[in-house]
Chain A
Amino acid sequence: AQKITQTQPGMFVQEKEAVTLDCTYDTSDPSYGLFWYKQPSSGEMIFLIYQGSYDQQNATEGRYSLNFQKARKSANLVISASQLGDSAMYFCAMRGGAYGGSQGNLIFGKGTKLSVKP
């Protein structure tokens, strides 16, 4: 069965500093995608970044980067130069390929609440 684990229920970071949000995953499927979403207090899930299991390089999107360590089954999100607007819940999610019998849906972790201090 596929599983996503986020071990940090809450984190604090000082404005302008970098922060790493942890995510580990478990799957027997060789083909999978890893996603990070941001959910501010308004409730909408905002897509941030994607990493495929066959991607050789770590994904980057602006201030977001994904530290993908396939052997360790980890996909940590790094936010550089934190801003007050980064305060939100962050969810790591995975979707498997057809080989693993994936239903097509995302499997989510429980999330990490990030608070950016001025």
Chain B
Amino acid sequence: GAGVSQSPSNKVTEKGKDVELRCDPISGHTALYWYRQSLGQGLEFLIYFQGNSAPDKSGLPSDRFSAERTGGSVSTLTIQRTQQEDSAVYLCASSSTSGGFTDTQYFGPGTRLTVL
């Protein structure tokens, strides 16, 4: 079946502008995760959604970052007033359950964000 999809694949924006990144998880997957990958910081967790529960936002680096998940499926990550340090690849992943440590996360192709 179809894997995790993300759009856009590339986004170039100017400092101070807002951006929205979209993730479509694998159909039927209840858990959805956002990560950020940058040269200096490696792979960092941002936010995690599980079903209808309140999201775990503990990884969001500042209040400029927010995310929502509509209808338990598609998710949008929004970065307000972008800064140059926000430049990174933003990866989305989903998993079929979130019962615990056996849960395998499957990743999308990522969105490369460049802030000029």
A residues with CB within 8 A of B: 31-33, 35, 37, 42-47, 50, 52-53, 91, 95-98, 102-111
Contact = CB atoms under 8 A, between A and B. Distances in A.
B48 A102 contact: no
B33 interface: yes
Contacts of B42: 108-111
B75 interface: no
B50 A104 contact: yes
Interface of chain B, helix or strand or loop or mixed?
strand
A33 B109 contact: no
Contacts, number: 69
A37 B107 CA distance: 10
Interface string B68-92: 0000000000000000000001010
B31 to A, nearest CB: 7
Contacts of A110: 42
Given A35-B104, A91-B43, 6 more contacts: A43-B89, A45-B91, A103-B58, A103-B59, A104-B103, A105-B45
A108 B100 CA distance: 17
B33 A105 contact: yes
